[in-house]
């Protein structure tokens, strides 16, 4: 069962993200670009998924957009049903202990960033989590190649399109 869809909250989040990218000193948009707004797929409540959260520990080596690998702390796994099939996605600890899933789907390199996207994970309790793909974002390296970003691990490479969240950035 999916949680209630908060369209107003999603649109406010998108507007806030645009404002940060437009005016914040730490925006990943190069100064010589005339940024107006990010592009997104149309909001779709079908891409707000609730699944089982399986806590785990340890570290995983993940390739980066600039070559090489880095070790990331695994928070666990989220098991969600997508298109009638169960998928277990690796969840990593991000900055300030935020939980996120780096993923790549069949839209990568076409309508979305070729290196994949990131989506936050909200734990609703100890063993349940929500993944709202409408809030999937491009990593900073999608805007400026000076940034080094983790690439999705093999387990998070989905063979079908996820038409939700942020589109590829076009300056």
Q: Is the dihedral of CA 153, 159, 162, 168 positive or negative?
A: positive
170, part of any domain: no
Q: How far does CA 148 lie from the centroid of its chain?
A: 16
167, part of any domain: no
**Length, in residues, of the chain:** 171
Q: What is the mean pLDDT of the chain?
A: 93
Give the model confidence (pLDDT) of 51-69 as tens digits: 999 999 899 999 999 998 9
pLDDT band at 90 (very low <50, low <70, confident <90, very high): very high
51, part of any domain: yes
Q: Is the pLDDT of residue 4 over 80?
A: no
Q: Phi/psi of residue 18, each to 5°?
A: -60, -45
168, part of any domain: no
85, part of any domain: yes
Q: Is the pLDDT of residue 1 over 70?
A: no
Q: What average pLDDT does range 13-26 have in this prediction?
A: 91
The Cα–Cα gap between 76 and 73 comes to 9
Q: Assess contact for 108 and 126: CB atoms under 8 A.
A: no
Range of the domain at 102: 7-156
166, part of any domain: no
The Cα–Cα gap between 77 and 158 comes to 15
169, part of any domain: no
The number of distinct structural domains making up the chain is 1
Q: Assess contact for 74 and 60: CB atoms under 8 A.
A: yes
Q: Assess contact for 142 and 113: CB atoms under 8 A.
A: yes
- Per-residue model confidence (pLDDT) at position 35: 86
Burial of 103 (0-12, 13-18, 19+ CB in 10 A): buried
45, part of any domain: yes
Give the model confidence (pLDDT) of 103-143 as tens digits: 999 999 999 999 999 999 998 778 999 999 999 999 999 99
């Amino acid at each position: 069962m999916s949680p209630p869809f908060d369209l107003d909250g999603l649109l406010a989040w998108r507007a806030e993200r645009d404002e940060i990218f437009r005016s914040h000193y730490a925006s990943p948009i190069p100064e010589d670009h005339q940024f107006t707004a990010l592009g997104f797929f149309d909001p779709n409540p079908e891409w707000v998924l609730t699944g089982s959260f399986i806590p785990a520990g340890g570290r995983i080596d993940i390739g980066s957009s600039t070559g090489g690998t880095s070790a990331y702390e695994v928070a666990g796994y989220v098991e969600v049903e997508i298109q009638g099939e169960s998928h277990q996605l690796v969840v990593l600890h991000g900055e300030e202990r935020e939980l996120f899933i780096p993923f790549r789907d069949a839209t990568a390199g076409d309508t979305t960033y070729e290196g994949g996207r990131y989506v936050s994970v909200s734990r609703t309790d100890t063993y349940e989590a929500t993944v709202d793909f409408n809030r999937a974002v491009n990593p900073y390296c999608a805007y400026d190649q000076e940034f080094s970003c983790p690439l999705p691990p093999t387990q998070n490479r989905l063979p079908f399109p996820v038409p939700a969240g942020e589109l590829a950035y076009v300056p």
